Amino acid sequence: MTEFIDTRDKPKVTGVMIQYYYVSKKELWYFANNINMNYDDSNIDIGNQIQDSSYSRKNTRNVLIDGTIAVDIIEGKSKIYEVKKSSTLKKPAVMQLKYYLWYLKTKKDMEMKGELKIPEEKKTKTIELTEEDEEEIEEIVEEIRDIITRDTPPDADLENLPKNATYRDFFQI
């Protein structure tokens, strides 16, 4: 059973933070502490263009909920979609979508299904939230809060960092 966590005095955890948690905890810390190097990242622009051109007929797009999660597409009251440029970071993308499902379930009492869409690769993956996922997400949320409230970032794990990670060059300094 899902336990509600009192978040009044705790920092918000966003979907992007969930994704960064799986890519690089150091990048997560920088992002959460407003050290943002994404301002000129062409991959973000390309991703937005793909989303806009591929799913213009879907019901509701780019929905910010509670200033915490930003759902790409909501279809009625049953399904949400997360649109990605590529499947390179599949696990982080899946966990981001599962976090959205968990958030909607625990904070908004809405049980939904999710779909991860990668239009450039013509891939779609249906995502459902399991009890194990809920437990993992609750642990991750607490770990993220711990990481982002530290005075200094964690060490970088360059071996697992994708070649095109936003902060890659900065980590090597």
Q: Is 1 part of a structural domain of the chain?
A: no
Domain membership of residue 167 (yes or no) is: no
Asked if residue 106 is part of any domain, the answer here is: yes
Question: What is the signed CA dihedral for 90, 92, 94, 100, rounded to 10 degrees?
Answer: -150
Share of the chain above pLDDT 70, in %: 72
Residue 108 forms part of a structural domain:
yes
41 inside domain: yes
**What range defines the domain where residue 66 resides?**
15-151
**Rounded Cα distance, 27 and 167, in Å:** 6
Kindly state whether residue 170 falls inside one of the protein's structural domains.
no
pLDDT band at 136 (very low <50, low <70, confident <90, very high): very high
**In this predicted structure, what is the pLDDT of residue 92?**
94
- 158 lies in a domain? no
pLDDT, mean over the chain: 82
Sequence-distant (6+) residues with CB within 8 A of 82 are 71, 72, 93, 96, 97, 100, 114, 115, 116, 117
- Asked, for residue 26, whether it belongs to a domain, the answer is yes
- Per-residue pLDDT tens digits for 65-81: 999 999 999 998 899 99
